[in-house]
Amino acid sequence: MSLHKKKLFADFESNHIMMIFPYMHRNKSYYKELCNIYLSLNKIFLESNIKQTIVLSKNHKSAVPTIFDHSSVTKLYYDCNDIWVRDYMPKIYLCGDKKNMIRYSFNAYGEKYSYIADNNFKNIVNYPSSEINLDGFVLEGGNLEFSESGIIITNIACIKKNNKKNTIDIETELNKISTQLQVSELFTIDLPEIIGDDTNGHIDNYIRFIQNDTIVYFASKDKSYCNYDVARKLEKQVEVIINSSTLIKKAIPIYHSKIDELVINKKIHPYSKLNFITAKDLFIFPCIYKNKDSVELDIESLDLKSKVYVINSEASLIEYGGLHCLSANI
């Protein structure tokens, strides 16, 4: 056992965000709108003294706006398959005052897309990774929610689909992580994805920590809402977590209704208010064009003691992901 106490690295502890500039989508009709999300995030991070690492293509350096030419922005050159760095960047834990990686394999949500470059991305980042190596076991950072006090929450349904393994084998791997990291509590939900989500049900659309003892969760009272049934199932599973945990004291619902459906050409895209970015003293919530006012009301009810922003994330949703998905706390 290490002489240094190991500790999970919660998003809200971080003062450094990594993003992949969306050069691989430059031929998409919504590329400009997608870039605007990155420009908005960059501006917020600069205002909030959050460091940034922006990953750029070796062949498309000129495509990056000069706003990223700042002393607090590090540029890294690597050709990724896609922008969803949250999922293929290894999760971080602290050992003493040093950051370490939890290595695992990435296969683009059950080999739905090209992924070899993204899976190899972990080999170019500068964190030690010798202790906890789960290469061969498929995980994604967007399906691992950590608290500073040592809690992990994940959706086991997603892990089963992406690994094609049974529950017992998956629980063995998760318990291995828990033991090596001296995890206080490990909780799993078992739910399908919200409509339009091709990650098979990442936890970051369902449950997030806003404080060490407080979670928020995806909820709905609107029977006409497309994800009403899954929200009600989640509510029951959250009750189990709260009743079982000695560390989580509060669970706050964030309600979704018909106004939160992003429908384009009769296709529903995977919008969740839970897919927010948080870092030290900062929250950035996603909205769509028609629900910004309701998102702002939701945030007010949370009484967050941090800077809070709301930005339109429609272009990322059309690309099948959200704000949390396109960023990684490092």
Flag whether 48 is in a domain. Answer: yes
Partners of 328 in the beta sheet?
A: 18
* Cβ contacts of 69 within 8 Å, gap of 6 or more: none
What is the per-residue pLDDT across 257-275, written as a single tens digit (0 to 9) for each?
A: 999 999 999 999 999 999 9
Note whether 85 and 18 are within 8 A (CB). Answer: yes
Residue closest to 306 by CA, chosen among 284, 277, 281: 281
Dihedral through CA 91, CA 25, CA 206, CA 157, nearest 10? -70
Whole-number average pLDDT of the chain: 94
Give me the number of domains the chain comprises. Answer: 1
What is the per-residue pLDDT across 158-181, written as a single tens digit (0 to 9) for each?
A: 999 999 888 888 988 888 889 888
Instruction: Convert 88-114 to b/e letters by CB count within 10 Å (16 or more is b).
Output: bbbbbbbbeeebbbbbbbbbbbeeeee
Burial of 205 (0-12, 13-18, 19+ CB in 10 A): buried
Flag whether 263 is in a domain. Answer: yes
Flag whether 180 is in a domain. Answer: yes
Flag whether 71 is in a domain. Answer: yes
Q: How far apart are the first and last CA of the chain?
A: 24
Instruction: Provide the residue range defining the domain that includes 261.
Output: 6-329
Flag whether 155 is in a domain. Answer: yes
Percentage, residues of the chain above pLDDT 70 = 97
Q: Is the pLDDT of residue 1 over 50?
A: no
Percentage, residues of the chain above pLDDT 90 = 82
CATH of the domain at 169: 3.75.10.10
Flag whether 95 is in a domain. Answer: yes
Flag whether 218 is in a domain. Answer: yes
For residue 136, what are the CA distances in angstroms to 71, 100, 178, 181, 206? 37, 19, 18, 19, 26
pLDDT at 2: 44
**Element at 311 (helix H, strand E):** strand 307-312
Flag whether 60 is in a domain. Answer: yes
Half-sphere exposure of 241 (CA within 13 A, CB side): 30
